[in-house]
Amino acid sequence: MAISKQKKNELVNQYVDWINNSQAFFFTEYKGLTMKNLNDLRKKARDVGGEFHIVKNTLSKVAFDDVGLKAPEKTFIGTTAIAIAYDDAPAMAKVISDFARESDFIKIKCGYLEKEFIDQNEIIALAELPPLPVLRAKLLGTIMAPASKLTRTLAEPARQVVAVLNAYANKENANAAV
């Protein structure tokens, strides 16, 4: 069924908006995907702050040209869906990678991370990174380690003085009781 030129322009504008507002996006092939599987995948994508949409190849190519990105020709062959990561690119890559591993319906083609082209292997490597909150916690722990060590080092002499005074006080109390 043919769509009007106005609808095509709206779709291209929507694709351009997705590209410009995303942190990363990944192209997939979705051959044989049922609506139930598609809805499950979309829910998982929403849970990590992203979206999953089926796109038209020719209009996607036009949108990419409008934005100034060049995707390989093979990207726009066959069925194409795009996974868009607005907040956490590794989490979205993990969703797509896990779904592709669990089913034969999704195959990862390629993607873009911060407008830089990445291939299928790089997307899988990105999926193996820990989630963003875990990375933040590790970074904070690394930053805080020297400060907490310094605090313990500075507090140790005072603790030793208190221990000596306490021992002295206990000794005086024991002598007074005798």
**Cα dist from 87 to 9, 10, 51, 111, whole Å:** 27, 24, 11, 16
Q: How many structural domains is the chain composed of?
A: 2
28 burial via Cβ count (<10 Å: 0-12, 13-18, 19+): buried
DSSP code for 108: E
Give the pLDDT of residue 95: 93
What value does the mean pLDDT of the chain take?
86
Q: Which domain holds residue 60?
A: 5-129
Give the pLDDT of residue 84: 94
Q: Do 100 and 23 fall within a single domain?
A: yes
SS3 104: coil
For residues 104-129, b (16+ Cβ closer than 10 Å) or e, as one string? ebbbbbbbbbeeeebebeebbebbee
Give the pLDDT of residue 98: 92
Q: Do 166 and 102 fall within a single domain?
A: no
Give the pLDDT of residue 160: 78
Q: Do 34 and 56 fall within a single domain?
A: yes
Work out the number of other CB atoms within 10 angstroms of the CB of residue 132: 15
Of the pLDDT bands very low, low, confident and very high (cuts 50, 70, 90), residue 150 is: low
pTM of the predicted structure, to 2 decimals: 0.71
